[in-house]
Amino acid sequence: MHPIERKRIGLGIIGAGRVGLIRGEIAARFPQVDWIGIAEIDPERAALVAAKVGADFVTDDYQKLLARPELTAVIISTDEHLHVDPILASVERGLALMIEKPLATTLSDSARVLGAIEARGVDAVVGYTQRFRQRWLVAKEKVGTGALGQVTMATSRGFMNRLVALDNYKRTPDPKKISPMVISGTHAVDVVMWIMAGRTPVEVYARSVDKALGPECGGTDGTAGLITMDDDSLYHLSISWALPISWPGAVYSLEVGIVGTAGVLTIDDTHRDIVLAVDRPQSEGYAPDKSRLVDFIGSYPPGHIALGELRGPMREETISWLLRLCTGLPTHHATAAEAHQRLRLTKALDHSAQRRAPVQLSGNDDFD
């Protein structure tokens, strides 16, 4: 057996926000990463992140970053609606990519990005971080090895307080262009569809409500839907990101059940096993709020800070990607094709809810 050749990594980070910093700090400690460059339009944020990761190059123009000869791989962690151009520019250079979900915010752009990635043969993965929680790996293994027999039905229920929704609606000029299903429900969709691999969705039916966020900011509270597969198995799902700010989930509180002809598997990802209640506000979660005094620890999707470092799925995901880059060994990251399918499914669910009618999935759909 020949020893694995470990390649060096010159890493670019386009978008030095919350996730760019998290992944950058992890990468800075990885032995094969010997160069880090950052492209960030906010100079104060760029300086802060550069100092934390020991960046070798900083710019406000991602094209200047992509022109650097040291680069071998890029993390795309800009706001969702700004992904397309830096992805395409990175693909043109043939650089390996980790892209925060989604590929794009419209199906047409997502298809264009996917086409460019596949045509160039770029190694691109997409940040569906929840695949790296151990409980989902166990579920994937049990379903894949036939422990449940033939899977006939799956269900997922996601609960979120409204801090993520309010932040997303605040950052967009058109609230109708984002939704709880596309922005947040997609994580549950990815996990369940990944576990149920081999099935093709053929029809969706969904309904939405807007009683809380609708009057407040023109948004959607939540969506419930049903996906029918080509083998007649069913996936029932719901997501609400309109729960009160006091809801203890720092972000995501998810439950999944999978039923087969020979068994059933239930997964509790609500994080109710560690509950923190305090007299003074803490800094837990996506958008800390002084009114929140109770938290489900671990319900912030990237993980949680312990002993000065992030622990949890985003750490596992980032290290796994860096190992993929330097060794060439396969990983279970979401592919660009899978990410495009997840966007297509969530867009179809929203389209069905708007039409209040079932939607057939033909393969040439336009739900934008």
Q: For tokens 């799925």, name the residue.
A: 313
Q: Are 340 and 110 in contact (CB under 8 A)?
A: yes
Domain holding 84, by residue range, is 9-126+319-332
Could you say which residues of the chain have pLDDT below 70?
Answer: 1-4, 283-288, 363-365
Do residues 92 and 224 both lie within one domain?
no
Q: How far apart are CA 37 and CA 39, in angstroms?
A: 7
My answer on whether 247 and 275 are in the same domain is yes
Instruction: Give the Cα separation of 344 and 346 in Å (integer).
Output: 6
348 and 274 both lie in a single domain: yes
Task: Give the C-alpha separation, 363 to 117, whole Å.
Answer: 19
Residue 239's pLDDT is 98
Which CATH number does the domain housing residue 48 bear? 3.40.50.720
Q: Mark whether 158 and 37 lie in a shared domain.
A: no
CA distances from 314 to 100, 126, 140, 248 (A): 11, 12, 18, 21
Please answer whether residues 92 and 100 qualify as being in contact, where contact means their C-beta atoms are separated by less than 8 angstroms.
no
Identify whether 339 is part of a domain: no
Domain assignment of residue 3, yes or no: no
State residue 317's pLDDT score.
Answer: 98
Helix locations, the chain, DSSP H: 18-28, 43-53, 62-66, 84-92, 107-120, 134-144, 163-171, 180, 186-195, 213-217, 313-327, 336-355
In a domain, 307, yes or no: no
Residue count of the chain: 368
Mark whether 113 and 247 lie in a shared domain. no
pLDDT at 284: 57
In a domain, 308, yes or no: no
On whether both 188 and 52 belong to a single domain, the answer is no
| Ramachandran angles phi, psi of 273, nearest 5° | -80, -20
Provide the pLDDT for residue 1.
47
The domain tally of the chain equals: 2
- Same-domain check for residues 71 and 165: no
Q: Tokens at residue 142, please?
A: 């049990």
One domain for residues 203 and 348: yes
Co-location of 260 and 237 in the same domain: yes
The answer on 120 and 16 residing in a single domain is: yes
Residues 97 and 165 reside in one and the same domain: no
Residues near 211 by beta carbon (within 8 Å), at least 6 away in sequence:
221
For residue 338, being part of any structural domain is answered with: no
